[in-house]
């Protein structure tokens, strides 16, 4: 296990199959599964099928053929599993849905040591190309970094069949200042490899659906992407944002400012907040993020795309840090920083705090969010007001 642990933080130099735009999506899934099987260290476990399912790209076809498609794009350190609940809902609504695997993901955290955000953009181009002869209308739905990639794609290539973009907790600005400075690790990491990491988590394999360790290069690539977005012009397509005002990972204020500078009349924004709304813009819908009966105080960055019945992060999920609300009445769920969690845990053990804190791992308002996304994809002409 010690060798496996060390191998997690070495770049395996994985070649993801994204350059051949004529590659069928079925073959793409097969090749990605081969890469996952080759490089992951946890596929010997009893739930290896779940691990493969979570990390591989996927396709969800509706019962009847559809001329409308959706490309799903996961976030940084994540896997396609993070957008699977959204995909399952849209499949049930009759949409052809596919999710890609971004380079550096699905294998080991070390695969992010040298990745470039241009590779992620190439993955978006590949995913879009696979719909070419199957749909007339295509939507992009991205979560976190995936949302930023979708947005930047349409800013660079506005003349396409894409009808709109859904941005779930978009990473238009990372709250940590380290993202701006992360490129400096190159000065030290050649002689001191540990310098390439903000965190090497000793429990890395605790969560099979996303990385727990943080490669500084990955954060810097997101920073570069956000800078490119803000230098580009306005979006010409309809955008649907969904944000948590209390997000500790990305800056929701930056996304709100960006939204308010976009003029398309079909734009919409859903804001999860516990404060009185100061916004008069009719395109902004404020939803309460506190559920006192469930001991939910506010929404986390992770929560938005996850349904309550998610098998890993949901109320009965198999992840040890899932929000098992019905099992424990001494925990408050919300968005907390690692420092807040550690300090509260210390107080709780000293019996100076009545409650534990835990990060909310699913969205109790998932059904409402999916209704709005479904309405957004059903406009007769989404590109028009």
pTM of the model: 0.94
pLDDT of residue 381: 46
The answer to whether residue 159 scores a pLDDT higher than 70 is: no
Contacts by residues 48-52 (CB-CB < 8 Å, ≥ 24 positions apart): 50/208, 50/311, 50/312, 50/318, 51/208
The answer to whether residue 1 scores a pLDDT higher than 60 is: no
- For the stretch 229-238, pLDDT in tens is 999 989 999 9
Angle at 77 between CA 76 and CA 82, to 5 degrees: 80
The answer to whether residue 253 scores a pLDDT higher than 90 is: yes
DSSP H or E segment with residue 73? strand 68-73
- For the stretch 335-383, pLDDT in tens is 998 889 999 998 989 988 989 999 999 999 999 999 999 999 986 444 4
Q: Which residues pair with 285 in a beta bridge?
A: 270
- Domains, in order of start, for the chain: 2-290+366-377 (3.40.50.1820)
The answer to whether residue 188 scores a pLDDT higher than 80 is: no
- For the stretch 10-26, pLDDT in tens is 999 999 999 999 999 99
- For the stretch 320-337, pLDDT in tens is 999 999 887 899 999 998
Strands 214-215 and 239-244: unpaired
- For the stretch 210-224, pLDDT in tens is 999 999 999 999 999
**Six-digit token pair at 224?**
């570069």
Rounded to whole angstroms, how far apart are CA atoms 211 and 109?
Answer: 6
Strands 137-143 and 68-73: parallel
């Amino acid at each position: 296990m010690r060798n496996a642990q060390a191998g997690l933080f070495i770049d395996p130099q994985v070649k993801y199959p994204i350059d051949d735009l004529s590659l069928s999506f079925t073959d793409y899934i097969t090749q990605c599964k081969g890469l996952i099987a080759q490089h992951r260290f946890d596929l010997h476990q009893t739930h290896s099928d779940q691990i493969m399912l979570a990390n591989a790209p996927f396709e969800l076809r509706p019962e009847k053929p559809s001329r409308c498609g959706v490309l799903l794009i996961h976030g940084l350190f994540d896997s396609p599993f993070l957008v699977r609940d959204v995909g399952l809902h849209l499949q049930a609504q009759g949409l052809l849905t596919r999710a890609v695997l971004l380079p550096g993901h699905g294998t080991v955290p070390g695969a992010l040591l040298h990745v470039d955000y241009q590779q992620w953009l190439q993955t978006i181009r590949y995913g879009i190309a696979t719909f070419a002869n199957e749909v007339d209308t295509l939507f992009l739905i991205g979560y976190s970094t995936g949302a930023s990639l979708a947005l930047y794609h349409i800013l660079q290539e506005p003349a396409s069949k894409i009808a709109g973009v859904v941005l779930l907790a978009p990473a238009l600005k990372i709250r940590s200042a380290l993202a701006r400075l992360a490129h400096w690790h190159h000065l030290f990491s050649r002689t001191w490899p540990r310098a390439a990491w903000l965190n090497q988590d000793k429990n890395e394999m605790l969560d099979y659906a996303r990385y727990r360790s943080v490669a500084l290069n990955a954060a810097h690539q997101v920073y570069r992407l956000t800078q490119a977005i803000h230098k580009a012009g306005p979006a010409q397509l309809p955008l649907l944002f969904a944000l948590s005002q209390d997000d500790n990972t990305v800056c929701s204020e930056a996304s709100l400012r960006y939204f308010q500078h976009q003029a398309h009349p079909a734009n919409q924004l859903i804001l999860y907040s516990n404060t009185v709304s100061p916004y008069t813009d009719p395109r902004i819908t404020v939803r309460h993020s506190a559920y006192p009966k469930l001991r939910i105080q506010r929404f986390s960055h992770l929560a938005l795309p996850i349904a309550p019945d998610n098998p890993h992060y949901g109320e009965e999920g198999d992840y040890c840090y899932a929000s098992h609300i019905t099992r424990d009445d001494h925990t408050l769920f919300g968005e907390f920083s690692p420092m807040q969690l550690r300090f509260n845990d210390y107080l709780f053990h000293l019996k100076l705090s009545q409650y534990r804190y835990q990060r909310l791992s699913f969205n109790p308002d998932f059904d409402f969010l999916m209704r709005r996304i479904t309405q957004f994809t059903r406009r007769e002409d989404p590109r028009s007001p």
